[in-house]
Structures are given as structure tokens and as C-alpha cells.
Amino acid sequence: MSQQNRIWLKASTILVIVFLLGIVTGGALDGLYRSKAKTLVAPYNKIDTTDHLGSLKQDLNLSPEQVSAMQKILTEMRQDYKTLCAGVRPKYETLREQGRAKMRQLLSIEQQKLFDMVITKEECNCPYLNKQ
């Protein structure tokens, strides 16, 4: 094998190794990025009162009576939060629609169509907008 062929073989081998390392590194970084993104934009995660109460029970060494009383309080709080959200939701919706109308004014007809599709998709994926 000539000197030139050996150099070409070494260069090709190094190139393949670098390429494969790039694939592995890219895959690892992509997995890390996606897992981080999932935790940041996790689906609506209403506090699971059972888990929360279980943590309180263990951390505070609660008696069965205390657990029962806290469960009742948490249930009442959940209902109060729902009532509060229902009262605020119309104003929130109004403000949101006003903002969207201002944004639409900046867009071309084609951009407005795309904007409306994005907004519809966001609303479908937004568990906070539990339309009642």
C-alpha cells in the first residue's frame, strides 16, 4: 500500500470517527434538551392532593385526625380555586382577545391565517383553558 493510500485511509477513518462521535453527541444533547423541555413545559399538573397530603403526613408526622381534617381543607381549597378562576376567566379572556386583535393588525392576511391556526392549537393544548 502506498504512502498516499495510507494517508487517505487514515483521513477517511478519522472523518468517519468524527462523524460518528457527532451523531452520538448530537443524540445525547437532543435527548437532554428534550427531557429538560418536557419538565419546563409539562402538561398541566394540578397538585395531586393525595401526594401532597402524603408528604405532609410523613414530614409532619400527622395523626389520622389531622390527615382527615387537612384532606377536608384541601378539598375546600380546590373548590374555592375553581370558583375564583371561574370569576376571573371572563376578564382574562377579554384581555387575551384584545391582545390577539392588536397582534393580528400587524400581520398580513396569510400571517393572520397562520396566527389563528397557532392560537387554535395552543388553546387545544392548554389545560388551563378548561372551557366550561
User: If you write DSSP's letter for every residue of 36-103 in order, what string do you get?
Assistant: HHHHHT-------HHHHHHHHHHHHT--HHHHHHHHHHHHHHHHHHHHHHHHHHHHHHHHHHHHHHHH
The residue-averaged pLDDT of 23-32 equals: 88
Look at residue 37 in the predicted model and tell me its pLDDT: 67
Indicate whether 70 and 130 sit together in one domain: yes
Indicate whether 62 and 100 sit together in one domain: yes
Is pLDDT above 80 for 70?
yes
The residue-averaged pLDDT of 71-95 equals: 89
Look at residue 132 in the predicted model and tell me its pLDDT: 45
The residue-averaged pLDDT of 72-90 equals: 88
Indicate whether 67 and 104 sit together in one domain: yes
Is pLDDT above 80 for 43?
no
Mean of pLDDT over the chain:
83
Comparing 124 with 70, the larger pLDDT belongs to 70
Q: What is the rounded distance in angstroms from the CA atom of residue 62 to the CA atom of residue 71?
A: 12
Indicate whether 2 and 57 sit together in one domain: no
Domain that holds residue 1: 1-42
The residue-averaged pLDDT of 54-76 equals: 90
Look at residue 64 in the predicted model and tell me its pLDDT: 92
Look at residue 124 in the predicted model and tell me its pLDDT: 62
Indicate whether 18 and 77 sit together in one domain: no
Structural domains of the chain, count: 2
Indicate whether 120 and 108 sit together in one domain: yes
The residue-averaged pLDDT of 87-116 equals: 91
Indicate whether 58 and 28 sit together in one domain: no
Is pLDDT above 80 for 98?
yes
Indicate whether 94 and 36 sit together in one domain: no
Indicate whether 126 and 64 sit together in one domain: yes
Is pLDDT above 60 for 44?
no
